[in-house]
Amino acid sequence: MTESGEAISARSRVLVLVIILIGFGAGFVKSFDRRPAGVFQPRSIGNAGGGEPHFETRFVSGGETPQTHAPSLVELTDGSIRAFWFAGSREGAKDVEVHTAVFPPGRGGWDREPPAATRAGTRKSLHRYIRKLGNPVAVRAANGQIWLFYVTVSVGGWGGSSVTMTTSTDDGKTWTPARRLIATPFFNLSTLVKGTPFLYDDGTLGLPVYHEMIGKFGELLRLDETGAVIDKQRLSSGKYSLQPVVLALSDRKAIALMRYAGGRPPKRVIRVSTDDAGRHWSHPEKSVLSNPDAALSGVVLADGRMLVALNDIESGREQLSLVASRDGGVTWRTLFKLEDQSGLQGRPLDRARYLETAEALARDSDATVSDPAELARAAGVQMCREAGCGFEFSYPYLIQARNGEFHLVYTWNRSFIKHVRFNQAWLDQRLSEKRNDPPH
């Protein structure tokens, strides 16, 4: 090498070293700002017992679109409840939007509002092509905003999903431009939401997510106050668990329940637990709760009991139950069957009988429905095939409001969103009932 070549080489080496030092200097400064692990913040809603037992049901959606699915709820500052769900001509269609409606206190009915998210709006905000929208979940963040997370797909099926986020400072009347959460290293593919987000004590947010591309497993994202992903933790691995729901018993103890997506009987809800605020989670195991590869939802009561809504059967989704546990999710007792068409035992109904049954169910579900036969026909469009018709009551989402009331929404025959509202007195009545069926 010539003298001048050596000089250039020496200068290059110094320059590379300077780049290394500057790069890692910036990196370590950022690393020092890393948030320490938080602890859970169990909801401290007191036992609003007393009063008369109260239980009522109604429909949230009004049949504006042929198909509706995957509802979620969030409580607003004035005590109203806002629901979100996706709706369109069919699941995965380009016209699917995230719909929303508000249930004001004392009003006794739902006010439907313009969509919270659309494909075109999301595409514009994200500067990306968006093929379809999916599951929405909402939460009130520590800063008082409502954060809405929803599934978006640019390429392929649900396995190609990513999570998109938008926020609202006015309880959901208006929304900021959407932004993408990056949660996997492989083209950011295959992250979906379904389970209820929750707060840690330091104001960061836990967002249960799941993957269903190569594996089927649950994870937990942790987001800071700006909505940036600051940590991610695996709850399970393999190909058999989806849609985690985290139920915090104390600041350190929690369990996560997951939909069983495996094929090996017995088909049971997958359960993991932690005693150290989620730093470590136990090995996934099958719980005693049956699960037909369907979503579930739950809350923890002030006294530590757990209340879960799920399809407590091993196949089909024609039965939806409320179950409770007094021992941290080890054993469960069925409190109430919200829907029960299990007498069919998976056999399809002929169309005429289906319409008759669905009409009766619609009438029982909502006394304000003027034409239950129309609801039955709409359900029939979704639920009838050549071989016959079936029922589906699925994707429950359960919250407890600050006044102690419980609100549950779920997909009713893929065509409507049904709302169930009950109070602590009603729940206490169910809990105190002597039932013949043994605990699970």
Partner 1 sequence: MTRLTDITGLAGAALAITASLLLAPPVRRLKRTHIGLLMSVTAIIVAAPIGTLPLAAYLRSCIGDLSLTTHVLLVIAIFSNLSGRRPVDERQKIAINGLIAVTALVFYPLALGFGPFDPYRLGYGSPWFLTVLLMLALGAWAVRFHLVSICIALAVMAHAMAWHESTNLWDYLLDPLVSIYALVAVLGGGLRTPTPPGGRNRHELRALPQDVVESTRCP
Q: Which residues would be at the binding site for partner 1 (CB under 8 A)?
A: 12-13, 16-17, 19-20, 22-24, 26-34, 120, 123-130, 154-155, 177, 179-180, 182, 184-188, 211, 213-215, 217, 219, 228-234, 236-238
Q: Which is nearer to partner 1, 141 or 417 (CB)?
A: 141
Residue 349 sits at the vertex; the CA angle it makes with 343 and 354, to the nearest 5 degrees, is: 95
The Cα 60–Cα 73 span in angstroms is 11
- State whether residue 334 is helix, strand or coil: strand
Q: Please, which residue, 30 or 434, has the CB nearer to partner 1?
A: 30
Q: Work out the number of other CB atoms within 10 angstroms of the CB of residue 398.
A: 22
CB of 175 to partner 1, least distance (A): 13
Give 4 or 28: the residue with its C-beta nearer to partner 1.
Answer: 28
Q: How far is the CB of 209 from partner 1 (least distance, A)?
A: 12
Q: Which helix or strand (DSSP H or E) is residue 353 part of?
A: helix 351-365
Cβ proximity to partner 1: between 60 and 133 the closer is 133
Q: Smallest distance, Å, CB 284 to partner 1?
A: 9
Q: Quote the least distance from Cβ 174 to partner 1, whole Å.
A: 14
In whole angstroms, the minimum distance from the beta carbon of 250 to partner 1 comes to 24
Amino acid symbol at 32? F
Cβ proximity to partner 1: between 63 and 262 the closer is 262
The closest alpha carbon to 250, from 36, 41, 45, belongs to 41
Query: Which of helix, strand or coil describes residue 379?
Result: helix
Q: Are 58 and 419 in contact (CB under 8 A)?
A: yes
Tell me the closest approach of the beta carbon of residue 230 to partner 1, in angstroms.
6
Least separation in angstroms between residue 10's CB and partner 1 is 12
Q: In what order do the strands lie in the sheet with 416-422?
A: 55-59, 416-422, 406-412, 393-400
CA torsion through residues 118, 145, 104, 419, sign: positive
- Dmax over CA atoms of the chain, in Å, equals 95
Q: What are 139's strand-pairing partners?
A: 147
- The residue whose two tokens read 């905000």 is 125
Closer CB to partner 1, 120 or 367, in the complex: 120
Bridge partners of 206, per DSSP, are 198, 222
Cβ at position 297, least distance to partner 1 in Å = 24
Residue 265 burial (CB < 10 Å; 0-12/13-18/19+)? exposed
Token pair listed for 360? 């009766």
Residue nearer to partner 1 on the CB measure, 230 or 288: 230
Cα gap 384→64, rounded to integer Å: 19
**Minimum Å distance from CB 82 to partner 1?**
24
Indicate the residue among 169 and 345 with the shorter CB distance to partner 1.
169
CB-nearer residue toward partner 1: 124 or 337: 124
**How far is Cα 302 from Cα 422, in angstroms, rounded to an integer?**
16
